[in-house]
């Protein structure tokens, strides 16, 4: 504390010094763990019901479809009403499909079409929840520590990505499959309780209620289109969603056919990418700067595809694992910096709508990316497909990076 007092520095993890954000972050960490438990149990349930990998793909695509259809509307709603109240509603509503799947599974009445229906309902709720939540951070912590808040969100998510499936496996073994869904439903209440105790964010009241939602959406799109830096950043996010982030879906092929490491090796490869992501998120969360860190964002946008390129060429398991650690760091660093950079360039009245475009580009394009890369891997082989996609991302990244030059470093 003496160091902080002497230098005026905000110290490590500055966003956590904010009481309201700290409450929300703890609630989200619990909720993210429940979400990953649910996802693990849901995958097991769908495969148990169908014995078909195709249905696993259908469920994943169904989760993303509402994001494509409703996220822009969700952003307009986030700018129209108090985000705190909207988030309390979306989190409370999220308990319903989780409980429904749990009850039907416990009664032995669950069918795959019902799972798909509940997944679609989750997706609809997320289309309103994600833009509101992403744009709510600036109201809680202010612009100076926004980068730390966004990175801490990634810390919670990636930490739960590691712990959630492990907890799910133990829960299924000890308490049965339905318990995972019940625990997920309860985990949403942790966020509701945190939001109830939050006092900040109330100043960001509703926007003009007389303006139609369609016009508000149009205003947000025009703003994004008129800001070269935001447009360039979103282009890179979209490019990664289509061609680079789907590397995760190809890891089982690399583990089995390229590296010959089997299921154990697959787990290590997944863990390597997750560990790199967690390190990157923690590193960004520790410190925060007032403006966009454009130079670091550009660097991480090149590190990510470059490490994937070397991973695609590697035949050595240890080198491949190291490449994935670096790739995880590059990806999460770029996404966190892109997120905060876009928000810092956006006014308060438009932030929800702009973040809905980010949500659409990042999450909405993901199923198309998985389909595209899966088809390319089938035609050309996974190493060649991933190497080609990495080169494409690096080339485009150089061009887009030039547009970002001259921004604040």
pLDDT tens sequence across 264-287: 888 788 888 888 999 999 998 887
Claim to verify: residue 347 and residue 254 sit in the same structural domain: yes
Answer whether 326's CB lies under 8 Å from 307's CB. Answer: yes
**Residues contacting 143, CB < 8 A, separation 6+:** 290, 344
Please check whether residues 255 and 329 belong to one and the same domain: yes
User: SS3 sequence, 50-62?
Assistant: HCCHHHHHHHHHH
Q: Is residue 314 a part of any domain in this protein?
A: yes
Asked if 123 and 63 touch (Cβ cutoff 8 Å), the reply is yes
Q: Any residues with CB less than 8 A from the CB of 320 and at least 6 apart, and which?
A: 254, 259, 269, 311, 314
* In a domain? residue 334: yes
- Quote the domain boundaries for residue 259: 215-409
- Judgement on whether residues 235 and 171 belong to the same structural domain of the protein: no
308 and 406, same domain (yes or no): yes
Regarding whether 290 and 164 lie in a shared domain, the answer is no
- Say whether both 162 and 279 belong to one domain: no
User: Residue 128 contacts by C-beta under 8 Å, 6 or more apart in sequence?
Assistant: 70, 73, 74, 77, 78, 86, 90
Q: Which of 198, 226, 261 is the last residue of a domain?
A: 198
DSSP states of 339-397: HHHHHHTS-GGGHHHHHHHHHIIIIITHHHHHHHHHHHHHHH-HHHHHHHHHHHHHHHH
- The answer to whether residue 317 sits within a structural domain is yes
Provide the pLDDT for residue 152: 94
Task: Give the CATH number for residue 291.
Answer: 1.20.1250.20
284 by DSSP, 3-state: which?
helix
Q: Which of 379, 295, 285, 390 is nearest to 332 (CA)?
A: 285
Site of tokens 């809905």? 356
CA distance 377 to 196: 48
Rg (CA), the chain: 21
Asked if residue 263 and residue 317 are part of one domain, the reply reads: yes
Our count of domains for the chain comes to 2
Note the residue count of the chain: 409
In a domain, 7, yes or no: no
Distances (CA, A) of 28 to 82, 110, 113, 183: 19, 28, 29, 14
DSSP, collapsed to helix, strand or coil, labels residue 81 as: coil
Residue-wise pLDDT for 2-21, tens only, equals 333 333 355 688 999 999 99
pLDDT of residue 105: 97
- Is residue 404 assigned to a domain? yes
For tokens 């061009």, the residue is 399
Is residue 206 included in any domain, yes or no? no
Closest CA to 282 of 240, 237, 333, 343: 333
Domain co-membership, 192 together with 221: no
- Tell me: do 190 and 233 sit in the same domain: no
3-state DSSP call for residue 176? coil
In whole angstroms, what is the distance from residue 383 CA to residue 26 CA?
40
| Residue 249: both structure tokens together | 């879906």
Tens-of-pLDDT digits for all 409 residues of the chain? 333 333 335 568 899 999 999 999 999 999 999 998 999 899 889 888 988 767 877 888 888 899 999 999 999 999 999 999 999 999 999 999 999 999 999 999 999 999 999 999 999 999 999 999 999 999 999 888 999 999 999 999 988 888 888 888 889 989 999 999 999 999 999 999 999 999 765 444 445 566 788 899 999 999 999 999 999 999 999 999 999 998 988 888 898 889 998 878 887 888 888 889 999 999 988 876 666 678 889 999 999 999 999 999 999 999 999 999 999 999 999 999 999 999 999 998 999 999 999 999 999 888 888 888 888 988 999 999 999 999 999 998 888 887 776 554 4
Residues 126 and 242 in one domain: no
Residue 227 · residue 87 · CB < 8 Å: no
Terminal CA-CA length for the chain: 28
């Amino acid at each position: 504390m003496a160091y902080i007092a002497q230098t005026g520095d905000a110290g490590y993890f500055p966003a956590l010094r904010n009481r309201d954000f700290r409450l929300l972050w703890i609630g989200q960490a619990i909720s993210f763990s429940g979400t990953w438990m649910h996802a693990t149990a849901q995958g097991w349930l769908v495969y148990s019901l169908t014995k078909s990998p195709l249905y696993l793909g259908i469920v994943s695509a169904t989760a993303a479809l509402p994001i494509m259809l409703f996220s822009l509307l969700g952003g307009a709603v986030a700018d129209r009403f108090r985000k705190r109240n909207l988030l309390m509603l979306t989190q409370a509503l999220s308990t319903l499909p989780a409980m429904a799947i749990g009850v039907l599974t416990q009664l032995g009445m669950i069918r795959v079409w019902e799972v798909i229906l509940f997944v679609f309902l989750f997706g609809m709720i997320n289309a309103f929840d994600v833009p509101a939540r992403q744009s709510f951070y600036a109201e809680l912590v202010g612009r100076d520590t926004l980068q730390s808040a966004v990175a801490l969100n990634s810390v919670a998510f990636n930490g739960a990505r590691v712990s959630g499936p492990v907890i799910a496996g133990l829960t299924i073994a000890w308490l049965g499959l339905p318990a995972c869904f019940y625990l997920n439903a309860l985990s949403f209440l942790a966020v509701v309780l945190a939001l109830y105790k939050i006092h900040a964010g109330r100043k960001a009241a509703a926007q003009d209620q007389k303006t139609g939602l369609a016009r508000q959406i149009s205003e947000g799109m025009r703003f994004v289109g008129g800001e070269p830096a935001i447009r360039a950043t979103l282009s890179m996010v979209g490019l990664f969603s289509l061609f680079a982030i789907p590397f995760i879906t190809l890891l089982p092929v690399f583990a089995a056919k390229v590296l010959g490491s089997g299921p154990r090796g697959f787990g290590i490869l997944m863990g390597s990418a997750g560990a790199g992501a967690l390190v990157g998120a923690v590193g960004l969360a520790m410190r925060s700067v007032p403006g966009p860190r454009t130079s670091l964002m550009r660097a991480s946008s090149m590190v990510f595809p470059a490490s994937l390129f070397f991973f695609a060429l590697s035949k050595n398991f240890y080198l491949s694992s190291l490449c994935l650690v670096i790739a995880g760091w590059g990806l999460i660093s770029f996404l966190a910096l892109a997120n905060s950079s876009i928000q810092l360039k956006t006014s308060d009245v438009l932030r929800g709508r702009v973040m809905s475009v980010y949500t659409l580009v990042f999450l909405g394009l993901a199923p198309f990316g998985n389909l595209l890369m899966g088809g390319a891997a089938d035609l050309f082989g996974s190493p060649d497909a991933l190497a080609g996609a990495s080169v494409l991302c690096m080339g485009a990244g150089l061009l887009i990076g030039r547009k970002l030059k001259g921004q604040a470093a």
